[in-house]
Amino acid sequence: MTENNVVISKGLEGVFISDTTLCKIDGSKGKLWYRGYPIEVLAEKSNYEEVAYLLLYGKLPTKKELSTFEDRLKDEREVSEEIQTIIKTFAGKSHPNDVLRTCVSALSAYDEDMSDRSNDANMERAIKLIAKMPTIVAMIGRQNRGKEFIAPRNDLGHSENFLYMLTGKKPDEESARLIDLMFILHAEHGSNASTFSTLVTGSTLSDVYSAVVAGISTLRGPLHGGADEAALKMMKAIGEPDNTESYIESALEGKQRIMGFGHRVYKAYDPRAKVVYNYLKTFMKTTTDEHVEKLLEIAIRAEKLMEEKLSKTKGIWPNIDFFAGPLYTAMDIPSDLFTPIFASSRMAGWTAHLFEYWTNNRLFRPLDNYVGELDLKYVDISKR
């Protein structure tokens, strides 16, 4: 290709960066697989610990393997006093995702041998990060609410324990299942922006902590991890369910973006959103919270209108971010924790991608096409 015939793929759209056995997305048909398993099957039959094991080790665990893995996660849930001090110092002053990023950076100080880059050592780091992230996020949420930290319970599952540490109440069966479902659906999603950032940093042969901090930082933006927070903000602006149609119509006329709709990959209904939508309708029948009920109704009415207006004609369908906010709200999770929860869930996917990429590592070094002037005459500062 000559310099005068450069093809630029904005946002690297359509560019393949590596082979993978982790995730397959068929955007035209709205299909998603983790390690070959349809997401709908995993959502129905699995739990987060089993999905994390699948992503990290490449296979579904036996009963004994899963039990051992669950015990390892439980053993690593605690965080040090120093990490807790970071949370107490910065929570309330910075966005929770920024506090989380700082805490994960600090976790490297407790690594026994950062020079050990063996597969076993890196897998231990992944397990520790997966285990500690929900603890940190729950503590940030507690600190922001002016409440004392709650110690983890080893009789509770991974995501169920997170909800307990955040709210102070053992979640009911429906809430426990729902939060676990959200962790599963956010665990992995191909080479999205945050995963790519993780790989770019990792391709320098940096360490696991540095790589995933890059992922956490990338997740911060409203076009990626912050989309569910932005979608909920829109629903709150709508206020009353009967305002939904007029608000959406007005936004579309003004060519405003409706947060939670459209996806770079999916040209059909996001399969994760379909799973969540079914739970949303179930919650509608059981909730007694008027505020939550209004949010859920707004979401359902907005989805219906958008499907009529754009989904079938322009391929703009709801994604998981649109429905996540109302359901998190139903579980008493504040909106500023949505992105950190996303990061906690995605830690399994980030580290699995990183380890896979390292098996055939190549430093990322793309090119840019210079379009400026050349050989300009330097003018002395006294004559400018």
| DSSP β-bridge partners for residue 123 | none
Q: Is there a single domain that holds both residue 125 and residue 238?
A: no
Looking at this protein, which amino acid is placed at residue 349?
A: G
Domain annotation covers residue 126: yes
Domain annotation covers residue 18: no
Of 321, 332, 353, 380, the active-site residue reads 321
pLDDT at residue 1 in the model: 45
Domain annotation covers residue 363: no
Q: pLDDT in tens for each of the 384 residues of the chain?
A: 445 688 898 888 889 999 999 999 998 898 999 999 999 999 999 999 999 999 999 999 999 999 999 999 999 999 999 999 999 999 999 999 999 999 999 999 999 999 999 999 999 999 999 999 999 999 999 999 999 999 999 999 999 999 999 999 999 998 899 999 999 999 999 999 999 999 999 999 999 999 999 999 999 887 777 777 878 888 888 989 999 989 888 888 887 777 777 676 767 788 998 898 887 777 777 776 788 788 888 888 888 887 777 666 666 777 888 888 888 888 889 999 999 999 999 999 999 999 999 999 999 999 999 999 999 999 999 999
pLDDT at residue 111 in the model: 95
pLDDT at residue 301 in the model: 87
**Hey, CA dihedral for 273, 260, 138, 50, is it positive or negative?**
positive
Please provide the DSSP assignment of 248-291 as one string.
HHHHHHTT---TTB--SS-SS--HHHHHHHHHHHHHHHH---HH
Structural domain that includes position 262: 227-330
Q: Is there a single domain that holds both residue 317 and residue 352?
A: no
**CA 26 to CA 22: how far, in whole Å?**
14
Q: Is there a single domain that holds both residue 354 and residue 312?
A: no
- Coil, helix or strand for 381? helix
**Hey, CA dihedral for 294, 297, 303, 306, is it positive or negative?**
negative
Q: Is there a single domain that holds both residue 124 and residue 262?
A: no
> Any idea what the CATH number is for the domain that residue 186 is in?
1.10.580.10
Q: Is there a single domain that holds both residue 214 and residue 236?
A: no
Q: Is there a single domain that holds both residue 157 and residue 272?
A: no
Domain annotation covers residue 5: no
> Any idea what the CATH number is for the domain that residue 311 is in?
1.10.230.10
**Hey, CA dihedral for 96, 98, 99, 103, is it positive or negative?**
positive
Domain annotation covers residue 6: no
Q: Is there a single domain that holds both residue 269 and residue 213?
A: no
**CA 193 to CA 225: how far, in whole Å?**
9
Of 263, 291, 375, 380, the active-site residue reads 263
Q: 311 is written with which tokens?
A: 């989904």
Domain count of the fold of the chain: 2
Domain annotation covers residue 365: no
Q: Is there a single domain that holds both residue 208 and residue 234?
A: no
pLDDT at residue 364 in the model: 95
- Reply yes or no on whether 321 is catalytic: yes
pLDDT at residue 282 in the model: 74
Domain annotation covers residue 370: no
Domain annotation covers residue 369: no
Q: Is the pTM of this model over 0.85?
A: yes
Q: Is there a single domain that holds both residue 198 and residue 283?
A: no
CA angle 166, 171, 174 (to 5 degrees): 130
pLDDT at residue 2 in the model: 47
Q: Is there a single domain that holds both residue 59 and residue 207?
A: yes
Q: 154 to each of 76, 141, 159, 172, 364, how far by Cα in Å? A: 11, 20, 12, 17, 41
Q: Is there a single domain that holds both residue 216 and residue 232?
A: no
- Reply yes or no on whether 224 is catalytic: no
Which phi and psi (to 5°) does residue 285 adopt?
-80, -20
Cβ atoms within 10 A of the Cβ of 31, count? 15
pLDDT at residue 158 in the model: 98
Q: Is there a single domain that holds both residue 252 and residue 161?
A: no
